[in-house]
Amino acid sequence: MPEAFLPFALPEIGEDEIAEVVDTLKSGWVTTGPKSRRFEGDFAVFLGDATRGEQLHCIAVNSATAGLHLALEALGIAPGDEVITTTHTFTATAEVVRYLGADVKLVDIDPSTMNIDVAAVEAAITPRTKAIMPVHYAGLAADMPALLAIARKHGLKVVEDAAHALPTTCGGQLVGTLDSDATVFSFYANKTITTGEGGMLVTRDAALARRARVMRLHGMNRDAFDRFTATVPSWYYEVVAPGFKYNLTDIAAALGIHQLKRANGFQLKREALAAAYDDAFAGLPVILPPRAAAGDRHAWHLYVLRLADGAHIERDRFIEHLFGAGIGCSVHYIPLHLHPYWRDRYGLTPAMFPHSQQAYERMVSLPLYTRMTVDDVARVAAAVSAALR
């Protein structure tokens, strides 16, 4: 009998998460309410940063895309502005800039880390540039000290796309507690913790947080939980801006409350799986994923293998071999410069992004999730070795 298909990703949902969701359903409060607020508070405690003596504001949203949009909107990004980000990311990172009528300036990656190229960022700055959006690719922190220094030098805002990066550290600090203006995490189904769909916007800027909370729910100055749980009549509210529908439900937050408790344990399991892959692939014609700097932590959202010059097989054929062996895999990412919208709007060509283009042509994301077993890793390793032969 053929072996069962090994998927690219599966969430790990435990009895505590299930019980919390059931409790939410029985409570009668299933939209944004007490569980969402609890999740926001727990997230601030998890990050636990007091190095600057300023409160971390955590705003739960229904996706990381929503969080990035809210952050840029609150920072005043508008038509005529430019925001610099990497071409090597999912389209959500860039599309939120276009939501606001601003333009995206895409730059290449550092081939050793696959994170945004710091020198390319500085070279791309123009009088229209208002913000930088680094992506912590695969869970490895971008060079935030250098990027923050550039931002200070040029008077730019910094919004971190940390969709892959819980609980990543940079210089010993958790991503989310650095000196950027805002950080946005993702809790999509395949992320390091999940609420099914969801995200968290984190900022120390109280004004940004206030604006994001208002714009998160139709531009209303009071949310439903405030209006419907008061002990005196409190039906009145005002719409102070044309907002969005970006709130996280209590059903989703119920998952997040317990997933967050497991985040550090999940990271240790992912790190162990990545190390097992590294050992299994030693000596093969592949480029292993970069490791975090000494003393720092990689979240290991993705394990991205790249075919080396000595691999006498094209990437697409390599993927076909893996699928033929019942191994799910993916590619992260088809760079933005190859997609018709971004390519045509900005006149982009692969030659403008040689490192991203080469990485894309050689990369494959292998299964990496906490429900994987030692036998699963061995099975993937055997399929990779067979494909390369």
User: What is the tens place of the pLDDT at every residue in 140-154?
Assistant: 999 999 999 999 999
**In this structure, is residue 31 part of a structural domain?**
yes
Residues 320, 222, single domain; the answer is: no
CATH number at residue 178: 3.40.640.10
**In this structure, is residue 10 part of a structural domain?**
no
Strand arrangement of the beta sheet that strand 57-61 belongs to: 57-61, 199-203, 182-186, 157-162, 129-133, 82-86, 103-107
Q: What pTM was computed for the model?
A: 0.96
Parent domain of 328? 264-388
The pLDDT assigned to 232 comes to 53
The segments of the chain whose pLDDT lies below 50 read none
pLDDT in tens, 200-240: 999 999 999 999 999 999 999 877 566 555 555 678 889 99
State the number of CA atoms in the 13 A half-sphere of 230 facing the CB. 10
The pLDDT assigned to 94 comes to 98
The pLDDT assigned to 187 comes to 98
The pLDDT assigned to 234 comes to 74
Burial tier of 115 (Cβ tally within 10 Å: 0-12, 13-18, 19+): buried
Residues 317, 280, single domain; the answer is: yes
Count of all residues that appear for the chain in the document: 389
Residue of 219, 292, 191, 178 whose CA lies nearest to 70: 219
The pLDDT assigned to 222 comes to 78
**In this structure, is residue 6 part of a structural domain?**
no
Residues 256, 270, single domain; the answer is: no
Q: Are 158 and 71 in contact (CB under 8 A)?
A: no
Residues annotated catalytic, as ranges: 191
The pLDDT assigned to 233 comes to 62
Kindly provide the b/e burial profile for residues 211-248, where b requires at least 16 CB atoms within 10 angstroms of the residue's own CB: bbbbbbbbebebbebeeeeeeeeeeeeeeeeebbebbb
The pLDDT assigned to 175 comes to 98
**In this structure, is residue 9 part of a structural domain?**
no
Instruction: Indicate the residue among 261, 280, 303 that finishes a domain.
Output: 261
The pLDDT assigned to 3 comes to 83
CATH number at residue 302: 3.90.1150.10
Residues 252, 273, single domain; the answer is: no
